[in-house]
Amino acid sequence: MLTIKDLQAKVEDKDILKGLNLDIKPGEIHAIMGPNGAGKSTLGNVLSGREGYEVTGGSAELEGKDLLDLDPEERARLGLFLAFQYPVEIPGVSNLEFLKASVDSVRAAQGKEPLDSVSFLKLARAKCKLVDLDQSFLKRGVNEGFSGGEKKRNEIMQMMLLEPKLCILDETDSGLDIDALQVVAEGVNSLRDPNRSFIIVTHYQRLLDYIVPDFVHVLANGKIVKSGGKELALELEEKGYAWLEDAAENGAS
């Protein structure tokens, strides 16, 4: 599904990703953990094509297609989805119109007709229900005045509408109450599919009780410094990251 080789990237002349490797097969869930400032969000931004993130080396391919040369919208149309750590508020643009524009363009790329407004509204309402957001949120501006948890639910709703191939969830669990955490987890689990993969960036092992990952990676100082099964998350919870960062600096991994 996703193959990242020796990925290096910088922001404002600062090297952030320093040779990152990751291979994700269809149907797999990979959790990425790691200290603040390690480069986790940067990885998501680089993969989704945000301006200002300069790739200085390496490659990233989605189903064999080179991602790094594409515009953000082209990547999304290929099936890449990033649930943002900090979703943006866009007053004046209605959530519903935004969602429809998004779904229409992804469908168009798949050679599908746009949905008529009535069917779309129905679909959007159904997804609202699944993430436990009141329908009135469709009428409001995109994320405008949404609480932290509501913004995250809105991200998951978008993911459910777009049915992407590769979903990257950047700390979608941060700031969520326990019920919302379940909602997010159920959202992800309902989309689990042999042809869909997930990257779950999180600081908390708790989310991984609900969304059981196939692999857990530690990203520190711009690289994956350790990979393991789901038990690695428990170990990290206990020991923190210091032992791994020391190991990384000494050249081991």
Partner 1 sequence: MTDFHKGLLAVNDENLSKESSSLAAIATLNKSGKESFLQQEIPTRKTEAWKFTSLFGFTSNEEGYGRLAASYDAAGLDALTTIPALDAQRLVFVNGQFSAELSSKESVANVVRFSEANEAQQAIIADNLGTAIEQEKHIFAALNNATTTDGVLVHVGKNENLKTNIQITHITTAQANPFTVQARILIVLETGAEATIVEHFASNSDEQNCFVNAITEAKVGPNARLNHYRLQLMQEGSIQIGGVHVDLDRDANYDSFQLGLGAKIVRNDINVNHNVGGSHCELVGVYLPQNKQLIDFHSNIEHKIANCTTKEVFRGIMADKSKAVFNGRIHIHPDAQKTLAELSNKNLLLSNDATINTKPELEIYADDVRCAHGATIAQLDEQARFYLRSRGISAAEADVMLSFGFINELLENLELDAVRNLIRPILAQRFGRDEELMQHIG
Ligand X SMILES: Nc1ncnc2c1ncn2[C@@H]1O[C@H](COP(=O)(O)OP(=O)(O)OP(=O)(O)O)[C@@H](O)[C@H]1O
Q: Which residues bind partner 1 (CB under 8 A)?
A: 48-51, 71-73, 75-77, 82, 84, 87-88, 90-93, 97-98, 100-102, 104-106, 109, 141-142, 158, 162
- Is position 16 an interface residue for ligand X (rule: CB under 6 A)? yes
Give the separation between CA 170 and CA 202, rounded to whole angstroms. 7
Sites for ligand X among residues 76-135 (CB under 6 A): 85
**CB-nearer residue toward partner 1: 163 or 214:** 163
Distance (Å, whole) CA 123 – CA 242: 46
Stretch that binds ligand X, among 38-46, 97-105, 161-169, 238-246 (CB under 6 A): 38-46
> Residue 12 or residue 238: which is nearer to ligand X going by CB?
12
d(CA 40, CA 190): 25
Measured from each CB, the residue nearest to Mg ion is 41
Using CB under 5 A, which residues numbered 76 to 115 contact Mg ion?
85
- Helix, strand or coil, per DSSP, at residue 117: helix
Count how many Cα atoms sit within 13 Å of the Cα of residue 161 in the half-sphere of its side chain.
Answer: 33
Q: Which helix (H) or strand (E) holds 15?
A: strand 14-24
CB of 53 to ligand X, least distance (A): 7
Whose tokens are 């210091």? That residue is: 242
State how far the Cα of 145 lies from the Cα of 215, in Å rounded to an integer.
36
Closest CA to 222 of 51, 7, 14, 16: 16
Residue with tokens 């032992």: 243
Closest CA to 77 of 51, 101, 42: 101
Q: Is residue 208 a contact residue for ligand X (CB under 6 A)?
A: no
Of the candidate spans 36-44, 97-105, 116-124, 179-187, the one that interacts with ligand X by CB under 6 A turns out to be 36-44
Q: Give the Cα separation of 62 and 66 in Å (integer).
A: 7
Does 228 interact with ligand X (rule: CB under 6 A)? no
Q: Which is nearer to Mg ion, 41 or 221 (CB)?
A: 41
Please identify which residue in 6, 23, 25, 37 interacts with ligand X, judged by CB under 6 A: 37
Closest contact distance (angstroms) between CB of 113 and partner 1 is 13
Contact status, residue 67 vs residue 237, Cβ threshold 8 Å: no
**Is residue 41 at the binding interface for Mg ion, with CB under 5 A as the rule?**
yes
List residues binding ligand X (CB under 6 A).
11-12, 16, 34, 36-42, 52, 85
In the complex, which residues of this chain contact Mg ion (CB under 5 A)? 40-41, 85
